[in-house]
Structure 1
Amino acid sequence: MSKINWKFYRPYRDKLVDKKNEILSRIFDKRKKDVDLDPSKINRILFLRTDGKIGDYIISSFIFREIKKYYPNIKIDVVSDKSLEDLLKLNKNIDKYYIFDRKKFFEWRKAARILKKNNYDVLLDSTEGLKYKQFYLINRINAIVNVGYNKDGYKIYNKDVKQNNTLKMVEIYKQMMKSVNIEIKNTMYDVPVSKDSERNVKKFLDENNINEKIIALNFFGASRGRKINEKVALIIIKRLSKIYKDYRIIILDSPNDRETIYNILEKTDNKNILFFEKSRTVLDSISIIKNSDLVVSLDTAILHIAEGLNKKIMAFYGPKINKNKWRIKEEGNILIDYTESRINDVDFEKVFDKLSYENNLSAI
């Protein structure tokens, strides 16, 4: 039996999935009457973070603070999958959060029954793409106003912010809030810091005699095409170690890639390359980043955390990542664009040769 050529199968599979989502979404897409709300009379808002994207949550974190600052009586709820739970529980501006397993439809039904009872005035859905489960949830919750992003043509959203790739995502979030007459001025991110993680990371740093000159290094993005393999990782470590000779490099955790991390550590044979083995959640990575002087990453979540903590950043951006909307600020940082579809096809020797020629990299 011949093997399936996944390279050619995936595009057809993705089209079928998209078509299924579109058809089912239309079933739950019931028209909502357009309503102009007075923010002083809004009682409760629900934020959909059902995609569970950490970077998106960090970017939008200023919203919760600003609402509470000017409208303290508004109750703020968030519904998300488990990937955001550790961050949500530390946000003092969120009144209640709901966690469910987005892979199981019966969990969506359960969440819909619970959330409908809260009688939301506003529901904000900033997720991209079409997922029929989202439309089902929004339909059942039945908030007075549903605010969407890039949901033009769908009736269930009586407020919609159109896609605009020239704007940063921060500005898009501001527009979403403005659609319900809430003006946002301060867009500084709120990055949650755990006292337990701070204590554990400090112990790790003390045990390894590290008190300054730290590089936090992330090798793993969310998709398979953005996970660095051992060979490429060793090249990056070699070049970073040469440029930043007096610095200790701490590899950030990725629970699904621990075996790769251990193999990398074994092959580096360099006492300046470390890994916090007791790391358990993203909160530990946040504490390491907080103690670092430079953050090197291809994962957008880590990049936005580092930006929120005002760290100097070396960021790698692939061709599929929007060059404007999700991009960190360029001032004071090193942004590297690569054209290959997979990170492991990038010639990092050439990348670092070019960087060394164009920039004084050793001056953090």
Structure 2
Amino acid sequence: MNLIKRLKAKWRTVRNTQKAIKLKAACALYDHRDCSDVFCAEDVKHIVIFRWDDKLGDCIMAGILINNLRLHRPDIKITVICRKTTKLWLNKVSFIDEYILLGKHNLRKTLQPYKNKYDVFVDVSNGFSYKEIFIAKYINAKHYLGFSADRFNIIDVSIDSNQMHFYQRYINATKILTNKDCLTSEKPPVPNYNKELEFLDSLIIDKDYKNIVGINFFGSGKYRRFSFEKAASLMKYWLEKHPEDLLVLLPTPGEEKFLTKLNSQFSSSNLLLPTDKASLEMSLAIIDKADFTFTPDTAVVHMASALDKPVIGIYRENRMNYEEWKPLGRHSQTIFNREPICDNDSVYVYEFGYEQLEEARANILKAIQ
């Protein structure tokens, strides 16, 4: 098994090397600015926020910037480069003047009408891929606000390098663009989910439990999701070990069959799938109602952070990624996966010991009593 893992790791090393070569070539062409103007926040009238990767966690944190601009700088027009998931969330929490729904192909054709329109291009991520540096340059904004000014010449307005968590980066970006040290709100906005909360209450009112636990098995990519066998094994353990817990499964797009099968396999009154129809609002309702939520490192963690609710988050043994995306809800706990056996070894999210789960669960319940 270790041999297979090492072979896969070697192949990932080759792919990462190819990406690095492509990025270096792209930077030689595109990593420079044409405008020499000195940045002044008062002069900013139109910004574009780069959310092309469509990661919901980053989108959730971006709401801090957007809503504070609406409050403190309503004169600034906001455009967002994104895909469908980002647009779905932002439409529920704020007003965006314009979306650029950008796919992976026909980049020049899609972006051509938007060249030279923006005062500031905003991207708080760790850097660009070779396609992303092309997009950033092609937009040709007057200024580029980002976290990676030490690595990319195109960035002239720098977020404080000490701001590791994406939440902190968006706070910093907001203060730069509003020119204010104190913001009206530093809490990410969320959609209204009162209807879903009432529905959830109606399902659990007659159940016998001491603790409510939200359960999410899915993150982005195959390494951040539980296989059905691993999920079933964990549920069997949890239901037998802690019959006082009511486990509520978070409905997830595309995973209806998985969750329905899992729920029916146990036929336990202490395992609940509220609906097989996934929605952002239902996920928020479960997270809010639960005493804590168990989840891989994914958007569910950041929904909980926005609600200030505790989670047990499962993270790779990658401390930089953890510092960037760790849970912010009070009393949250972290389970780290096993250490990789070599560079570029990808570890599955379920590779942890149940004793870690027991410790994290006990710590949360003790803290919230």
Same-fold call, TM > 0.5? yes
Contact 2:307 2:329 in 1 (8 A): no
Following TM superposition, by how much is the alpha carbon of 1:124 offset from its aligned partner in structure 2, in angstroms? 0.5
Look up the equivalent residue of 1:199 and give its one-letter code: K
Contact 2:335 2:352 in 1 (8 A): no
Q: Give CA deviations for 1:55-101 in whole Å, capped at 9, x if unaligned.
A: 11212321112222221211122111112121111233433323232
Partners of 1:58 and 1:37 lie apart in 2 by 27
Q: Which runs of 5+ in 2 are unaligned?
A: 340-346
The number of residues matched between the two structures is 354
Q: CA RMSD in A?
A: 3.2
Q: Give CA deviations for 1:252-301 in whole Å, capped at 9, x if unaligned.
A: 13334444323322332312212244423434322332333322211331
Following TM superposition, by how much is the alpha carbon of 1:238 offset from its aligned partner in structure 2, in angstroms? 4.2
With over 3 angstroms needed to count, the CA separation of the structure-2 counterparts of 1:239 and 1:360, relative to structure 1, is farther
With over 3 angstroms needed to count, the CA separation of the structure-2 counterparts of 1:153 and 1:316, relative to structure 1, is closer
Partners of 1:355 and 1:91 lie apart in 2 by 32
Q: Structure 1 residue aligned with 2:352, among 346, 354, 360?
A: 346
Partner of 1:16: 18
Counterparts of 1:256-335 in structure 2 under 5 Å? 256-320=254-318, 322-329=321-328, 331-335=330-334
Instruction: Give the alignment's TM-score, normalised by structure 1.
Output: 0.83
Q: Which runs of 5+ in 1 are unaligned?
A: none
Q: Give CA deviations for 1:76-135 in whole Å, capped at 9, x if unaligned.
A: 22111112121111233433323232x2x21x2243123226x21111112334322222
Instruction: Give the alignment's TM-score, normalised by structure 2.
Output: 0.82
Partner of 1:121: 119
Look up the equivalent residue of 1:351 and give its one-letter code: Q
With over 3 angstroms needed to count, the CA separation of the structure-2 counterparts of 1:307 and 1:162, relative to structure 1, is closer
Counterparts of 1:1-364 in structure 2 under 5 Å? 5-101=7-103, 103=104, 105-106=105-106, 108-116=107-115, 119-161=117-159, 163-164=161-162, 167-180=164-177, 182-183=179-180, 185-186=182-183, 188-194=186-192, 198-199=194-195, 202-203=198-199, 205-206=201-202, 209=205, 214-241=212-239, 245-320=243-318, 322-329=321-328, 331-340=330-339, 341-348=347-354, 350-355=355-360, 360=365
SS of the residue aligned with 1:221? coil
With over 3 angstroms needed to count, the CA separation of the structure-2 counterparts of 1:360 and 1:41, relative to structure 1, is closer
Following TM superposition, by how much is the alpha carbon of 1:145 offset from its aligned partner in structure 2, in angstroms? 0.8
Partners of 1:15 and 1:240 lie apart in 2 by 42
Look up the equivalent residue of 2:353 and give its one-letter code: D
With over 3 angstroms needed to count, the CA separation of the structure-2 counterparts of 1:345 and 1:333, relative to structure 1, is closer
With over 3 angstroms needed to count, the CA separation of the structure-2 counterparts of 1:305 and 1:248, relative to structure 1, is same
Contact 2:146 2:159 in 1 (8 A): yes
Partners of 2:334 and 2:46 lie apart in 1 by 40
Following TM superposition, by how much is the alpha carbon of 1:51 offset from its aligned partner in structure 2, in angstroms? 1.3
Following TM superposition, by how much is the alpha carbon of 1:208 offset from its aligned partner in structure 2, in angstroms? 5.9
Following TM superposition, by how much is the alpha carbon of 1:357 offset from its aligned partner in structure 2, in angstroms? 6.9
Contact 2:219 2:297 in 1 (8 A): yes
Contact 1:147 1:159 in 2 (8 A): yes
Following TM superposition, by how much is the alpha carbon of 1:179 offset from its aligned partner in structure 2, in angstroms? 4.8
% same residue: 20
SS of the residue aligned with 2:350? helix
Contact 1:279 1:285 in 2 (8 A): no
Partners of 1:362 and 1:161 lie apart in 2 by 34
Partners of 1:331 and 1:287 lie apart in 2 by 18
With over 3 angstroms needed to count, the CA separation of the structure-2 counterparts of 1:363 and 1:139, relative to structure 1, is closer
